[in-house]
Structure formats: C-alpha cells, structure tokens
Homo-oligomer: A and B are copies of this chain.
Amino acid sequence: MKDDFDKKAVRVFKALGDPNRYSILKLLIEKGELSCADFDGKTTLSKPAMSHHYRILENAALIDVRKEGLHYYMKANIETLEKFVPSFIETHPSKKNR
C-alpha cells in the first residue's frame, strides 16, 4: 500500500462505494457536463451534502469541476475511469462527451 497507484485506486473505490456518489457519476457519464442545479430534482439530499459528495469525487479525480459565472460545471474524468474502473464506462455506455 505504499504504492501511489494503489493509494489512488483505494480513493477511487471509496468514492464510488457510496450510492449517492455512484449515481452522480453515472449521470455525469450519461449526460455529459452538468451543474449542481441539474441534480436538484434527482436527489433528496441537501445542497451541503451534495457539495460534500462532489468534493470527494473531485479528490478522487473522478470528476473535473469548472466554475463559470454562478455555476460550477462538472464532468466525469474519463482518464481516471479508464485507468481504475473501465467497466463503469462500458456498462453506462452513453459516454459521448465530444
């Protein structure tokens, strides 16, 4: 577990081992880039709770976040997915982000 690859892998798995974060990422893969507001109808969680989950996904390099005006736009990081959880892309195969 000293290996950097392994540490990153554990962080990725931990991030995905929560149903809320799993669903967030799944939706991002399906829809492309979304803002926090786009998740409003799709969850019962409060904004702070969602914010917490975005942060964990970002720290695992599973999503990239970009601020533009009032909005934070998020999208799945395909590189990390391909490296650690390629099955995630294959099984949710509308990854037509460009």
Question: Which positions in A face B, CB cutoff 8 Å?
Answer: 1, 5-7, 9-11, 13-19, 22-23, 26, 83-88, 91, 98
Contact between A13 and B17 (Cβ–Cβ < 8 Å)? yes
For A10, the chain B residues whose CB sits under 8 A away are: 16-19, 22
As for how many copies of this chain the complex holds, the number is 2
For A5, the chain B residues whose CB sits under 8 A away are: 91, 98
Task: Give chain B nearest CB distance to A53 CB in angstroms.
Answer: 13
A5 to B13, CA, bound (A): 16
**Chain B residue, CB-CB nearest to A9:** B22
Contact between B16 and A22 (Cβ–Cβ < 8 Å)? no
**Chain B residue, CB-CB nearest to A98:** B5
